[in-house]
């Protein structure tokens, strides 16, 4: 970590911000006028608030959420990674960020050094990825894979 | 490019754009893809009907709304057939943001955002471990989320 974000304080947001967040995190294309009506302020105020939330990094973007299976991504797996030496962490993460099927990457406590989430089209595709790409990365000692047979739910963090 | 669920190249191009920015005006999408604005609307609506698109939202940075502790918890059940009830109970805990049925040593695997370690401890001891059917849990705390992104749509 090269910045001091371990000292990071929670952003300064008020109840109106929270109300706005609640509405727009559920539906990104909701007209701001509708948000304004619900919150009892003007449309311009909503624009201003959302822009501010973007500027201070509370919201980092917006997306349409797709069902990975409908796009042919049928295999979801979590993988715990053991490193040969802890100091390989940086280079291993750099190499992994080049593999687009790895959608999440964490530095964790517990038995694994790194913990990742992978989404592939088939089990074979996953195997190929592990064989040809992951195990090739210098510094990885071994991996442990947990396949997700079903994602029961997925949602955003609760806003009070 | 294979056709998945009768999606063609144009659909995938549209998805690629709108999964990165949900508020982009459809007329900009239309220009980029080379079809009319009405056609973009039609295609997006069709993908919603097909449930290829299951929603939209803004990304929140959990740190900034004061959720500082991110962790994964592996759950062991007393009996495999308690699965459905346990998931129902887990769903009532809003701090659990993701829940999977997994192979490997754990029956269930969840992702939890807590305000701090103490909050995580409370969630674990007074909520998760109180659920009937859960034998034990194993927690991995994420010290840093190095990256997080969407699946590659256009490949």
pLDDT tens digits for B9-37? 899 899 989 988 889 999 999 999 999 99
- Please, what are the domains in chain A? 10-55 (1.10.10.10), 68-148 (3.30.70.920)
Task: Average the pLDDT over B126-154 and give the result.
Answer: 87
In the stretch 49-78 of chain B, residues with CB closer than 8 A to chain A read 50-67, 70, 72
pLDDT at A6: 59
Cβ of residue B34 closer than 8 Å to a chain A Cβ: no
Does this model's pTM top 0.90? My answer is: no
Cβ of residue B113 closer than 8 Å to a chain A Cβ: yes
The answer regarding whether domain B62-142 maps to CATH 3.40.50.2000 reads no
| DSSP SS3 for A117 | strand
Task: Average the pLDDT over B126-144 and give the result.
Answer: 92
Question: Is 0.90 exceeded by the ipTM?
Answer: no
CATH architecture of B9-49: Orthogonal Bundle (1.10)
User: Alpha helices, DSSP H only, in B19-132?
Assistant: 26-33, 37-49, 83-91, 117-122
Distance of alpha carbon B80 from alpha carbon A37, whole angstroms: 48
Residues of A in contact with B138 (CB under 8 A): 110
| Equal CATH topology for B9-49 and B62-142 | no
Cβ of residue B149 closer than 8 Å to a chain A Cβ: yes
Token pair for residue A118? 């992978």
Contacts 24+ apart (CB under 8 A), A48-55: A49/A16, A49/A17, A49/A20, A50/A20, A50/A24, A53/A11, A53/A13, A53/A17, A53/A20, A53/A21
pLDDT at B1: 40
Provide the pLDDT confidence category of residue A8 given band limits of 50, 70 and 90. Answer: low
């Amino acid at each position: 970590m090269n910045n001091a974000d371990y000292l990071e304080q929670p952003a300064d947001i008020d109840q109106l911000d929270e109300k706005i967040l609640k509405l727009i995190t559920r539906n990104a294309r909701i007209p701001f006028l509708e948000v304004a009506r619900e919150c009892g302020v003007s449309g311009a105020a909503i624009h201003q608030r959302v822009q501010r939330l973007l500027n201070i990094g509370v919201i980092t973007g917006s997306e349409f959420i797709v069902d990975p299976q409908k796009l042919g991504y049928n295999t979801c797996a979590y993988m715990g990674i053991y490193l040969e030496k802890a100091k390989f962490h940086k280079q291993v993460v750099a190499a992994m960020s080049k593999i687009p099927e790895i959608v999440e990457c964490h530095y964790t406590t517990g038995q694994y050094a790194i913990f990742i989430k992978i989404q592939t089209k088939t089990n074979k595709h996953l195997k190929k990825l592990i064989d040809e790409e992951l195990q090739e990365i210098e510094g990885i000692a071994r991996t442990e894979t947990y396949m997700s047979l079903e994602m029961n739910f997925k949602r955003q963090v609760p806003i009070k | 490019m294979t056709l998945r669920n009768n999606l063609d190249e144009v659909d995938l191009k549209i998805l690629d754009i709108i999964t990165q920015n949900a508020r982009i005006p459809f007329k900009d999408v239309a220009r980029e893809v080379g079809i009319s604005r009405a056609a973009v609307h039609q295609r997006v609506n069709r993908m919603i009907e097909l449930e290829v698109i299951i929603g939209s939202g803004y990304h929140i940075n959990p740190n900034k709304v004061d959720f500082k502790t991110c962790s994964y918890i592996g759950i062991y059940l007393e009996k495999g057939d308690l699965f459905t009830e346990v998931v129902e109970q887990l769903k009532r805990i809003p701090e659990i943001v993701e829940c999977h049925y997994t192979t490997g040593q754990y029956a269930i695997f969840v992702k939890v955002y807590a305000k701090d370690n103490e909050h995580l401890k409370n969630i674990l001891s007074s909520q998760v471990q109180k659920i009937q059917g859960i034998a034990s849990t194993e927690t991995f705390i994420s010290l840093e989320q190095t990256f997080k992104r969407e699946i590659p749509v256009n490949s």
